[in-house]
Each structure stands twice: as C-alpha cells, then as structure tokens.
Chain A
Amino acid sequence: MATEMMGLLKPISKIGYYGTTTRTILPQRVSTIIRMSAATTTATKGGGGGKNKKGIKETLLAPRFYTTDFDEMEQLFNTQMNKNLNEAEFEALLQEFKTDYNQTHFVRNKEFKEAADEMQGPLRQIFVEFLERSCTAEFSGFLLYKELGRRLKIFSLMSRDEARHAGFLNKGLSDFNLALDLGFLTKARKYTFFKPKFIFYATYLSEKIGYWRYITIYRHLKANPEYQVYPIFKYFENWCQDENRHGDFFSALMKAQPQFLNDWKAKLWARFFCLSVYVTMYLNDTQRTAFYEGIGLNTKEFDMHVIIETNRTTARIFPAVLDVENPEFKRKLDRMAEINSKILAIGETDDIPLVKNLKRIPHIAALVSELLAAYLMKPIESGSVDIAEMDPQLVY
C-alpha cells in the first residue's frame, strides 16, 4: 500500500523518477518496445534469430497515465458557475503560454551523437534509462494535457510544451540507436483516474519539482562543466521555465477554487501530496545513485535541495506544507530509503512469490510507520498572500 501511494505520482513527474514498483511489475506483458531506429547499426550487430529483429531490444516500463472527470473540470472553468475565477490572471497566463518562449529552443546539433558515442559502459546504460524514463514522464504529461485540451484550450498549450520535451528526449534516445514507441505507449496505456482536485495538487507539485530538478542539474553542470557528459543538460535552463509556468497555471486554478485550499481537509491533502512526491523522489533517486554520481552530484544532497526549494515554492499556494528543513525529516527519509532497499532486495531473491510477500510484510509495516510519522510531523501553515486573510501586518 505504501509503495502504491508512492507510485501514485510517478508518471506525471519530471525527469524520470524511477517508480519503486517498476521492478516488480517487470514480468507483465504490458511493455514498451524500444526499437532500434531504422537507419543505424542494426545490420552490424548480427546474431540471434531474425535479421531485422536483431537490434530490437525490449524494455518494459510501467507508466501510469492519468485521466480525470472532464465534466467536473469544465464546471470549474465556467465563469457563470465559478465566481472566484480571476479572469485577468488566467488571461495573463494564457498570454504567457502563447508567447511560446521556447518555440525555437529545442534544436539539436552534432554534439549529441558524438557525446552518445563516447559514452560507454555502465554510464551509457544509465543514460539510456534516464532518457526513457524522462521521455515517458513528459509524454504522460502530454497525454493528460492533450486530453484536457480537447475541452479547455489552455491545456493544449501546455501539452505543446510537454510534447516538445518528450520528442526532444526521444531524439536523444536515437543517439543511442533507440527510440521509444510512443504510439504504442499511447494505445497500451492504462488510465488511472484522479478527481480534478487531486490532479491540481499532484500536477502543481510535479511541475514545480520538475523545475527545481532541471535547474539544479543545469546550474551544477554550468559550474562543473567536466561532468557535462551529454548536451541535453545545456537545454535545461530554458526547458525548465516551461515547467515553472505550468506550475503557475495550477496555482491560479487552485486560487480559483478556494475550497481546495482553505479548510482542514485541504491542509491534510496538501501535506499528503507533498509527502508522496518528496518520498517518491527520494526513494527512487537513492536507488539510482549511479546516474547522479555520473554527473557529479551527491544524490541525497541533490534531492534534499530540490525538496527544500520545492517546498518553499509550494508554500506560496498550498495551505500547509511539511517541515522539510527540520533535520528529523531527512532522518526519516533516510530510514525509508534503507527499508526500501530491503524490500527491493527481497524481490531479487529466488524465493517463490508467497514467501517474498511474507518477507516483505514487516518492512512494509516499518515503511508505513515512517511515512505516517513524517506525515504527522508538525506542518507549516502557508498559502498565497492573495487569498490569505489580508493581513495588514504583512510586510513585503
């Protein structure tokens, strides 16, 4: 159950969070085919059975795609029914999206292929996985926004950005002679249903944490160019501004729905989503330290920085956030990461499934207990000054 909760937000998050459940789902048939892209090394690789099948490698991803209650979503946008809609604010957002800052940004050059060819050994593998996961994450954002865009036009502008990002990452895979079959992904997708309110919380966090991950990697690599192993990171500075703007859109949406922000239930949900997103990232990243170390980052320090900054940003809108700067919070995360490793290790053994499940029980109980303790830590009251009771004492 705990892992389920943590897996909840993975697919709409940015830069490839690696779902904790991914490994265990691997044996399923719902797979994404990674094709060798046509013109490249297929012939030379030889071996195996067929000639053209030769280069085909199957990778299984377990992406979750989201759907929501479109009627309800539409009602939320109806000016007659929702008096809280701040038209000027949405107008401003729409203009900002239409401006399309990155219209000509995502142009590749020779460096990509050269860097990919130079990358060998385990790092190459890690990179391919990073690109796959990131591409899938962006693509799932694209699908959700595109679906919403059918009814609410502004979402189409966000899906434009996500599609561009996913396409760029997929082009990156072609440097490694691979391509994600997104058409197949689209057809084989399984929808998870979320009420609009939860889409708002989850997507807001996902966009903002995405911004902080991208910009942190970008700025780190700018300061330490010796780790700049693949040119895609150079695009992150402009790229992540898209994510940040998308987050602003959900911020405006939530402001137009005060019931999502102003009561005790909203505070509980806000904390729940913060915790889900932060823990998911932490557990996933600590399982993939090779990637972060490969680009010269300390995984845990990177994650904590991203969590703290995202939390500060989120405090501008969510009615409550977690006290992530309390050292106890990190201690809890570290304990969770440790328990998670044990759970994953059980999955790697040769035991029969029943035995594995039995062995996992105490660890899952421990994880749930850590999660609950983290959830119950004294929160920080927060919120937008636009909707907070206008405190005349507030100084800007």
Chain B
Amino acid sequence: MSLMKSLGASAVVNLPTAAVTATQLHHHTHSFPFLSLPQHLPMLNSTTTSISWRTTTSVRKAVAAVDSSDTVEKEKESTKTYHFVVANAKFMLDEEEHFQEQLFERVRLFQERNMEQDFWLVIEPKFLDKFPNITKRLKRPAVALVSTNGTWIKFMKLRLDRVLLESFEAESVEEALASNPVDIKFEKPDKWVAPYPKYESGWWESFLLPTTQNQET
C-alpha cells in the first residue's frame, strides 16, 4: 500500500470497497451500489440517473448458500447449493492454461486469509446425469469446476466462456462431487511454439476431492 504514496493516489485505495476482505464478502449478501455515484457530484440527479446495482434473485440465493457454509451449518445440516461450469476435459485441463493459474491463485488467497477451500474440480461428475440438456452437448470425458460460491462460478463462466453453467443441491460435499473414475491423458501438442514449457499434466490432482478410497479407509 505504501506504493501508492508515490502516486499521490491515496484516494483510490481509501475506497471502502477496497478494504473489504474476502471473508467479509462472504457474509455480504445484500445489494450494494455497484456503480453508485459519489455524493459530491452535484450535476447528477441522483433519483433519475443513479445506478443502483441490485443482485438478482439467483445470485442472492447463491450467496446465501455460501453463507450457510460458514455460519448456519451447525444449526441446520441441510442441503447446499453447488454451482458449476463444465466442459470437456481437454478444454478445462489442457488447453486453457490460465485456468490453472487462476485456481492456484485462489488457493493461495484462501490460504493467506485462512479460508476454507470451497471449490473443486470433478472429472466425469455423477451429477451430470441430472442434466441431460448439458450432457447431450458435452464431449467426454467432462470436467466440472464446482463451488458453493455461485458468484465466483458466474465469474468463471465469463472468463472461460466455452463452458455450461448450472447448479444443483446436495447434502454433502462427497455426494456433490461424486465421480466416475476415468483416466485422463492428453496427447502432446504436435507443435509447441511458446517460449516456455507447457504446464505439467496432472496439475489438477490437488483440486480433486481426496479420493474415495481415502475416505473409506
């Protein structure tokens, strides 16, 4: 933050929004002025031109689901909403290298802020059976990014674009992330012109739910 001083840009970092930590955000379910106008701009008529940004019903539901993971869980062990984006494995795990960077970045963030990880990768998820409209358009094997944080999944949809987004309810993480075992192997690209090596295959393993064998033992 001290870097800002050299820029004389302190006004920017002093925005209240910038100070909100991710942990707080988790509990921040209600609408807030996304693009609201600062009060000190007199030329704007606040009633007609102000731009309030209300969360849609679906998002509110999604965020509420996230809340429950933190606070309500003990009182009431109920179903949770799991949001996901899905596409074929080649796209998710092999072609979109920035996707991997994002996941590791998010793991780093969660560790730095002592937050419990709420996102996983699932190879050939069983929940896909509930979505015939998705499966008929999906190359297999498929890989889903699943999270209880629907807002973030929405962002990931925007980033990845070539993915399908849906959500479902499940009573436990194990149930939500159940998968059909399948071996994932990608052919080496025939021409690799980047001035760096490709990311190692298998990077995704740390994002899978610890294997079912482990849980059984």
CB proximity of A392 to chain B, nearest CB, Å:
8
Pick the contact of A163: B9, B87, B159, B195 (CB < 8 A): B9
A33 / chain B contacts, CB cutoff of 8 Å: none
Q: Tell which of A91, A98, A151 has the most Cβ of chain B within 10 Å.
A: A91
Chain B proximity mask over A211-240: 1 for CB below 8 Å, otherwise 0? 100011001101100000000000001100
List residues of chain A with CB within 8 A of the CB of B56. 87-88, 91
B51-70: CB near A (< 8 Å → 1, else 0) gives 11111101100000000000
Residue of A nearest to B10 (CB): A163
Most interface-central of A142, A167, A182 (chain B CB within 10 A): A167
Q: Which residue of A lies closest to B92 (CB)?
A: A396
0 or 1 for each of B151-178: is its CB under 8 Å from A? (1 = yes): 1101100110111100000000000000
B3, B52, B105: the one contacting A101 at CB < 8 Å is: B105
Is A163 touching B154 in the complex (CB atoms < 8 A)?
no
A95 to B63, CA, bound (A): 11
A residues 80-113 in Cβ contact with B at 8 Å: 87-96, 98-101, 104, 106
For residue A386, CB closer than 8 A to chain B, the reply is yes
Q: How many residue pairs, one in A and one in B, have C-beta atoms under 8 Å apart?
A: 187
Q: Is the CB of B195 within 8 A of A216?
A: yes
Within 8 A of B (CB), among A373-396: 384-386, 392, 394-396
Q: With the chains together, A101 CA to B51 CA distance in Å?
A: 27
Contact with A along B119-148 (1 / 0, CB 8 A): 000000000000000000111000000000
Q: Is A177 an interface residue (CB 8 A)?
A: no
A260 cross-chain contacts in B, Cβ below 8 A: none
Query: In this complex, which of B86, B101, B106 has the most chain A Cβ atoms within 10 angstroms of its Cβ?
Result: B101
Chain A residues in 8 Å Cβ range of B53? 79, 87, 90-91, 94
The answer, yes or no, to whether B204 is at the interface (CB within 8 Å) is no
Q: Which of A135-165 contact B (CB under 8 A)?
A: 139, 142, 146, 149-154, 156-157, 159-160, 163-164
Instruction: Tell me the nearest residue of chain A to B160, going by C-beta.
Output: A316
Say if the beta carbon of A298 comes within 8 Å of chain B: yes
| B182 in the interface (beta carbon within 8 A) | no
Least CB distance from B36 to A in Å reads 6
Shortest Cβ distance from B47 into chain A, in angstroms? 11
Q: What is the size category of the interface that chain A forms with chain B?
A: 35 or more
Does B111 interact with chain A (Cβ within 8 Å)?
no
**In this assembly, does A301 line the interface, its C-beta being within 8 Å of a C-beta of chain B?**
yes
A129 in the interface (beta carbon within 8 A): no
Residues of A within 8 A of B34 (CB): 90-91, 94, 153-154
Q: Are A99 and B22 closer than 8 Å at their CB atoms? A: yes
Q: Check A166 against B7 for contact (C-beta < 8 Å).
A: yes
Inter-chain contact A95/B155, CB cutoff 8 Å: yes
Q: State which of B15, B17, B138, B155 has its C-beta within 8 Å of the C-beta of A92.
A: B155
Q: Is the CB of A98 within 8 A of B18?
A: yes
In Å, the complex CA distance between A215 and B104 comes to 14
B208 within 8 A of A: no
Establish whether residues A171 and B17, one from each chain, have CB atoms under 8 Å apart when the complex forms.
Answer: no
Contacts of B41 in A (CB 8 A): 150-151
Interface 0/1 of B73-93, CB less than 8 Å to A: 000000000000011100100
Is A305 part of the contact surface with B, judged by Cβ < 8 Å?
yes
Interchain CB contact under 8 A, B15 and A157: yes
Q: Which residue in A96, A106, A153 is a CB contact (below 8 Å) of B36?
A: A153
Residues B195 and A305 in contact, CB atoms below 8 Å apart: yes
* Assembly CA distance A304 to B106 (angstroms): 30
**CB-CB < 8 A to B20: which residues of A?**
98
A305-B112 Cα distance, complex, nearest whole Å: 33
A384→B102 contact, CB < 8 A: no
**Residue of B with least CB distance to A106:** B3
**B109 to chain A: closest CB distance in Å?**
5
Residue B38 at the chain A interface, CB threshold 8 Å: yes
Residue of B at shortest CB range from A93? B155
The 8 A-B pairs of least Cβ separation, nearest first, read A167-B3, A219-B196, A92-B154, A92-B155, A163-B9, A396-B87, A316-B161, A220-B195
Contacts A87-B55, A394-B137 given; 7 further ones with Cβ under 8 A?
A77-B35, A100-B22, A170-B6, A238-B105, A297-B195, A386-B161, A392-B137
B→A interface (CB under 8 Å) = 3-9, 12-13, 15, 17-18, 20, 22, 25, 33-38, 41, 44, 49, 51-56, 58-59, 86-88, 91, 98, 101-102, 105-106, 108-109, 112, 137-139, 151-152, 154-155, 158-159, 161-164, 193-197
Q: Can you identify 14 A-B contacts, CB atoms within 8 angstroms?
A: A74-B49, A88-B151, A101-B108, A106-B3, A150-B38, A153-B33, A163-B7, A163-B12, A166-B7, A241-B102, A252-B158, A386-B161, A396-B162, A396-B163
